[in-house]
Structure 1
Amino acid sequence: MHNYRNEGHEHPASWYAASATLDQPRPPILADRTCDVCIVGAGYTGLSAAIDLAAKGYDVLVVEANRVGWGASGRNGGQVVRGFTKGQDQIAGWVGKEDADRLWNLSVDAMDLLRERIDSHNIDCDLTWGYIHAAEKESHLTDCRETFEEWSRYGVEDIYVMRPDQIRERVASPRYIGGFYDPGSGHLHPLKYALGLARAAETAGATIAEHSQVLTLEDYDKPGPVKVKLATGATVTAKHVLLAGNAYLKGVAQEIEGYVMPVGTHIVATETLDENMARSLIPDNEAVCDLFFVLNYYRRSPDNRLLFGGRVSYSGYDLPDVSKHTADKMRHVFPQLKDTEIEYSWGGYVGITIKRVPHLGKIGPNTFFAHGFSGHGVVLTGMAGRVMAEAIAGTAERFDLMAKVPHAKFPGGRLFRTPALVLAMTWYRMRDLL
């Protein structure tokens, strides 16, 4: 359960898998075939692109190594967060103010797209609005004030910096001295959302093949069709390829591997709590995250559990007793849960970039990629899939905008970049403790 790298080909034993209606396995690709677009990865990015491309009449094949939503799309914390991990001033320093403003507007469009997908395809994924960034020390409150000022410049309404009494009314923890309230972000059931997107893609005309792991790409750096070699022995020949495997794409495209780092994250779900106890923790049912660099995040589930997660491994290796480590952090935030049992425990990878914003681009004339959503994937993946679909259909303006952010590889190459990141994260962890 705690092996981030490989938990088999079925969904991990998470609360998400236990509370969702899973589809029957989709058949793998066993014979050679052709298509207009081959999408690698049946997560949010790939499925979003598949919906749009199939609706435009393209012959779309999505190949997934395991099951729909098996990776980060079906394991994440479910936080629906607007904007980017980095602030707009930092983004403006990379691309200029005009393009930074356009990227902000694109992030707003991404949130609208998520709502549109859920509404138009009747996806039952427990979407709930309200989000709290919880401050545990004065430097966190400074971050809250800066975010408030920045978002206010973009016309965001109904946000506010929380006083101590205001956060105590919304989060029953002694840890916090304030926070930032955002009614326009929220949370959902991530696996239900992924499954809903898959059904919408199939309704639009796309084909999804599970248990169809991609081994290599051939001819992707040349004009013309790309050959996608599968572990089943079959070859898919496609006019266009979209790489949407994010942190789980290791070995398929080594040119871009160094730009994203798989970071281990872990979530525990408590036993079902008394309804009054569950409601007392977060009375208005917002999603909450703290403002540490190595952050924690949590929310209530519809069946009165607390789902609590955090980043626990930057090394690619499992921590000893990672469930206890995560549960201890939960009880640090909520001492009233000291005797509460943990019923589900699961982990996975989130892909981060050095700049903590998504990395989009092309590795060949007809081969696109998107990865490194850095904690904002529930919202931004949908837009990444859409802009890649737009580019294939001949309108690349928004794709080019997202691809304009300059990215660098993690230092040290394949052998040394993980130890380098561990050292950096140790420094940030020490800073969090100050």
Structure 2
Amino acid sequence: MSFNSGLGMERSYYAATANPFARAPKLEGEAHADVVVIGGGFTGLHAALNSIERGFSVIVLEAGRIGWGASGRNGGQMIPGWRKSAADLVARYGEAKARTLFDMAMEARNLSVERITKHNIACDLRVNGHLTVAAKPADLSWMREEADVLARVMAYPNAHVLNADEARAKLNAPGFHGGFLDECGGHVHPLNYALGLAEAGRGAGVVLHEDSRAVSLETTNGVVARTESGVVRARYGVLACDALLGGLEPRVAKRIMPVANYLVATEPLANARELIADDLAVSDSRFVVNYFRMSADNRLIFGGGERYTPEPPADMAAFARGHMLKVFPQLCNARIDYAWGGLVSITMSRLPHIGRTGDLFFAHGYSGLGVLLPALTGKVLAEAMAGTAERFDVLAGLAPPEFPGGAALRSPLYVLGMLWYALRDRL
């Protein structure tokens, strides 16, 4: 948590515009529950809500503040699907299983919107679409293939390829050659979404504890989660720490890699709708992705670049601003009001790691698509704890390989690979 806590969340746009949220007490002493959830982000909160709706008693342990991990500091982009394209899923698993996976991903999108609506979560929800713009002319080829597979195999008519002129009508930025528009995408204020899920859980009876880092887990007889000042004994556990897992569960950690991203929010822009039409969420097709959207108060929220070393840049605003100006050179005089960073976990396959060890269930490694998918994984983990594991088994079958060298060597080896792909982007 110490690395993430040094990345400026308290100075973020999201923290500055967060809805009121009464802090939850630190765990003191011994507590008992049917389910103990470790991690107060999207995955943990969805798992807690789904579990209590099934009649389980639930305690959530959050090391810091609810939503202040990756869930509350990301770009807020709601991108339907998996990090692997529909065409990739068909090639890897065949049409039948690919359809099952695609349907589950769309369920995640719909569940997310339903949760926001059901619990009246004020999180600036926009569902006008997500646009991927083509950084290279050759990108239009795979975009056309993807739209075809979605329509033909998945019976999904909501994705369209845009030519260069059509893309420029949506995005006033030079250097792009077309785009792929998914009409079911959107964006959200991620911290307020997380806080709204937590409030919904608290209202339903979920017990929340902040500043309660789990320092050890025992899984031989149910799950015992110990903090520095207390212990929770539960029938089941949900491990939902993502990039902040650290050494809490080494058997799980070696399949994910924490990567740092940095974001800025500009001053409110008078010409916001001239930059991005239709209030779309946008990302580009580079391997090291740039992603951006407008906030509810007309600020450009821009994320760009990644760093593969433990230390953040000396000036996060300047680091992200450099990437922003490559996309929007017309913003050279725009003031940066907020800058922050955060850790996200990726996997070797870019598909999430979902599974169990004894009575401890886990889900993480969303590889940049962690806004929508946790609504699904939280529901499926609760299903499995209630005794219905069919859908859990489907997701567990996606298990990514371990990083070469395990947790000890994954970072230097991964850095070499990422630097190579980043160089390809530049060339």
Q: Which deviations, in whole Å up to 9, do the C-alpha atoms of 1:328-348 show, x marking residues without a partner?
A: 111111111001111100000
Unaligned runs of 5+ residues in structure 2 are none
Q: Which amino acid aligns with 2:237?
A: V
Unaligned runs of 5+ residues in structure 1 are none
What residue number does 2:235 align with?
A: 239
Q: Which amino acid aligns with 1:136?
A: A
What residue number does 2:254 align with?
A: 258
Deviation at 1:24, TM superposition (A): 2.1
- Rounded Cα–Cα distance in structure 1 between residues aligned with 2:49 and 2:136: 44
User: What's the TM-score once normalised by structure 1's chain length?
Assistant: 0.94
User: What's the TM-score once normalised by structure 2's chain length?
Assistant: 0.96
Checking the alignment, whether the CA contact within 8 Å between 2:317 and 2:338 is kept in structure 1 is no
What residue number does 2:182 align with?
A: 182
Checking the alignment, whether the CA contact within 8 Å between 1:95 and 1:405 is kept in structure 2 is no
Q: Report % sequence identity.
A: 42
- Which of 377, 388, 410 pairs up with 1:384? 377
- Rounded Cα–Cα distance in structure 1 between residues aligned with 2:155 and 2:10: 41
Deviation at 1:113, TM superposition (A): 0.5
Matches within 5 A, 1:111-190: 111-129=109-127, 130-153=129-152, 154-190=154-190
Checking the alignment, whether the CA contact within 8 Å between 1:4 and 1:264 is kept in structure 2 is no
Q: Which deviations, in whole Å up to 9, do the C-alpha atoms of 1:75-119 show, x marking residues without a partner?
A: 010000111111234334544442222111111111110111011
- Rounded Cα–Cα distance in structure 2 between residues aligned with 1:163 and 1:90: 23
What residue number does 1:318 align with?
A: 312
* 1:58 and 2:51 matched: no
What residue number does 1:23 align with?
A: 21
Secondary structure at the residue paired with 1:166?
A: helix
Matches within 5 A, 1:28-47: 28-47=26-45
Secondary structure at the residue paired with 1:46?
A: helix
Q: Which deviations, in whole Å up to 9, do the C-alpha atoms of 1:119-159 show, x marking residues without a partner?
A: 11111111112111011211222232122122112122242
Q: Which deviations, in whole Å up to 9, do the C-alpha atoms of 1:166-202 show, x marking residues without a partner?
A: 1111111112111111111011110010011001111
- Rounded Cα–Cα distance in structure 2 between residues aligned with 1:249 and 1:416: 17
Checking the alignment, whether the CA contact within 8 Å between 2:351 and 2:400 is kept in structure 1 is no
What residue number does 2:214 align with?
A: 214
Deviation at 1:4, TM superposition (A): 4.5
What residue number does 1:286 align with?
A: 280
Secondary structure at the residue paired with 2:403?
A: coil
Change in Cα spacing, 1:311 to 1:150, as seen in structure 2 (3 Å) is farther
* 1:349 and 2:343 matched: yes
Root-mean-square deviation (CA, aligned residues, Å) is 1.6
Checking the alignment, whether the CA contact within 8 Å between 2:354 and 2:399 is kept in structure 1 is no
- Rounded Cα–Cα distance in structure 1 between residues aligned with 2:116 and 2:306: 31
* 1:332 and 2:326 matched: yes
What residue number does 2:226 align with?
A: 229
Q: Which deviations, in whole Å up to 9, do the C-alpha atoms of 1:359-418 show, x marking residues without a partner?
A: 100122x11010100111111011111100000011111111100114211112333210
Secondary structure at the residue paired with 1:235?
A: strand
What residue number does 1:407 align with?
A: 400
Checking the alignment, whether the CA contact within 8 Å between 1:262 and 1:316 is kept in structure 2 is no
Checking the alignment, whether the CA contact within 8 Å between 2:305 and 2:323 is kept in structure 1 is no
Question: After alignment, is 291-300 or 197-206 more displaced?
Answer: 197-206
- Rounded Cα–Cα distance in structure 2 between residues aligned with 1:263 and 1:375: 10
Checking the alignment, whether the CA contact within 8 Å between 2:4 and 2:69 is kept in structure 1 is no
Matches within 5 A, 1:290-301: 290-301=284-295
Question: After alignment, is 97-106 or 54-63 more displaced?
Answer: 97-106
